[in-house]
Amino acid sequence: MSHPILEVQQLNKSFGGVIATDNVDMRVTQGEIHALIGPNGAGKTTLISQLSGLLTPDSGEIIFQGKTITGLPAYEFCRAGLARSFQITSVFQEMSLLDNVAMAVQARSGHSFKFWKNAKKEKLLREPALQYLEQVGLAERCNWLASEVSHGERRQLEIAMALATEPQMLLLDEPMAGMGREESAQLISTLNGLKKDKTLLLVEHDMDAVFALADTITVLVYGRVVASGEPDSIRNNEQVRQAYLGEDDN
């Protein structure tokens, strides 16, 4: 138990004068739901982007399952088993939900130098894709275009796509943002269901969701980790209350 699946050491990233990631050390334990919280502009998305290979850190190391993956291109992060969802929804708007997820299934099932067979009729791609949609509760919508479904449904599509790459660990950047109560509740239960075999790093502003889900919470303020630990210790941490929870408590 409790060896880290992901270890971040001395990570730094700045944009011009803005230090978005300031000497961040972090350990995520295998199988846990690890929440990353912090006020707007704290550098949560920037950190997630580095952990998914979309941004290259200025210095520091990212070690995933014992392998240093710092500096590799994004697709290598995904292949190593780290998948992300985007804060600003990033799906294929002009494709159906099923096509979206099937693309992700295709991505992990070998190379795509196949020029002749109709991929939209391949059971090998379509059936798993449908299962992932079902897992997030979107199966009946599978033939809708991504641009036609609600914002909340697109967020769920993001998660289905991330799941379809069969990651060991999921990085979810505010998956509940803009969702209604019911949708959020459903997502929380979906995420709880994933807990069995996936490690989750969850960025979330909704404190109820965070305290309902998280095993560990890391608090980021101005790019720096100000506290990290079990939910109760975070709740009672004076520094955190001042810097963050105090203003945002509801």
Partner 1 sequence: MPEATIGKQHTAVKWISIVMITALAVIPFGLYLAGNAFWLDIFTRLVILAIAACGLNLILGLGGLVSFGHAAYIGLGAYAVGIPVYHSTYGGMDAIASYNGFVHLGLAMAVCALFALVTGIISLRTRGVNFIMITMAFGQMMFYAIVSLETYGGDDGLTIDLRSEFPLITLDNPVTLYIVCYLSLLALVFLLHRISHSRFGLILQGAKFNEERMGAIGVNCYRYQLTAFVLSGLICGYAGFLLGNFTTFISPEMMDWTRSGEIMFMVILGGAAALWGPVIGAVIFIVLEFVLSEITIYWHLYFGLLLIFSVLFMRGGVSGALSRWFNSSRSSGTQRQA
* Footprint on this chain of ligand ATP (rule: CB under 6 A): 15, 18, 20, 38, 40-46, 87
Closer residue to partner 1 in complex, CB, 20/104: 104
C-beta of 97 vs 220, nearer to ligand ATP: 220
Burial of 241 (0-12, 13-18, 19+ CB in 10 A): middle
DSSP 145: B
Q: What DSSP line would sit under 73-84, residue for residue? A: -HHHHHHHTEEE
> In angstroms, what is the minimal distance from the CB of 3 to ligand ATP?
28
Task: Closer to Mg ion by CB, 38 or 128: give it.
Answer: 38
Residue 125 C-beta: closest distance to partner 1, Å = 8
Q: Are 223 and 21 in contact (CB under 8 A)?
A: yes
74-113 residues near Mg ion, rule: CB under 5 A: 87
Estimate to the nearest angstrom the gap between the alpha carbon of 71 and the chain centroid.
19
Q: CB of residue 142 vs ligand ATP: minimum separation in angstroms?
A: 30
* Residue 47 CB-density burial (10 A; 0-12 exposed, 13-18 middle, 19+ buried): buried
Task: Give the shortest CB-83-to-Mg ion separation in angstroms.
Answer: 17
User: Which parts of 25-54 interact with Mg ion (CB under 5 A)?
Assistant: 44-45
Between CA 57 and CA 114 the distance in angstroms is 35
Smallest gap, in angstroms, from Cβ of residue 117 to ligand ATP?
A: 40
- For residues 195-213, one letter each, b for 16 or more C-beta atoms within 10 angstroms of the residue's C-beta and e for the rest, the string is eeebbbbbbbebbebbeeb
> In the complex with ligand ATP, which residue's Cβ is closer, 87 or 199?
87
Residue 91 binds which of partner 1, ligand ATP, Mg ion, none (CB < 5-8 A, kind-dependent): partner 1
